[in-house]
Amino acid sequence: MSSEEVNEFGVSMEALERYSKSFNKSETLAFFNTRVEFPDVYRVQAIIDELKSGHMGGMGKMAAVNGGVLAALYDLVVGCSAALVDPARRSATIQLSMNFERPVTGDEIIAEATVDRAGKTLVFSSARILDGQGRVCSHGQGVVRMSKRGWDNGSPAVN
């Protein structure tokens, strides 16, 4: 993939890399041991590549990731999917729906989202969570509202 490639919204890989670099400075992401990446100009991923005991407890067992952690990952990737439309504008998830289909086990989690469609202020996105073996464990959808305001100092990182 060319570093000069842009998606249908005119967003380049370079702009997305600046977004993720800044966003990954967030104290919240550090707390969850999570990082945001854009593997291409069409997807955003949130990755936890080392699960901690605080992530676990789903189904009452320490072998599965807790649903609250999964919900937070959905909120993160759906919210960050707005960067695929305009990484310079603030955004917030306003609706989130999740279907948990199998327990998330293993040592890592990848949550990823894509934009289904976007208007001037709303972004509709689909997401999924994969376990450490690459199996899809759940699906989600969400709506993000994009603000007219940009990020403070041009940076998407918020603490």
pLDDT digits (tens, 9 = 90+) for 3-29: 579 999 999 999 999 999 999 999 999
User: Over the chain, what is the mean pLDDT?
Assistant: 91
The DSSP 8-state label assigned to residue 41 in this structure reads T
Query: 0.75 cut: is pTM over it?
Result: yes
pLDDT digits (tens, 9 = 90+) for 22-44: 999 999 999 999 999 999 999 99
Q: Where are the domains of the chain?
A: 13-149
Amino acid symbol at 130: L
pLDDT value, residue 159: 32
H-helix or E-strand spanning residue 48: strand 43-48
CATH number of this structure's domain 13-149, picked from the four choices 3.30.565.10, 3.40.190.290, 3.10.129.10, 1.10.760.10: 3.10.129.10
**Closest by alpha carbon to 100, among 71, 79, 143?**
71
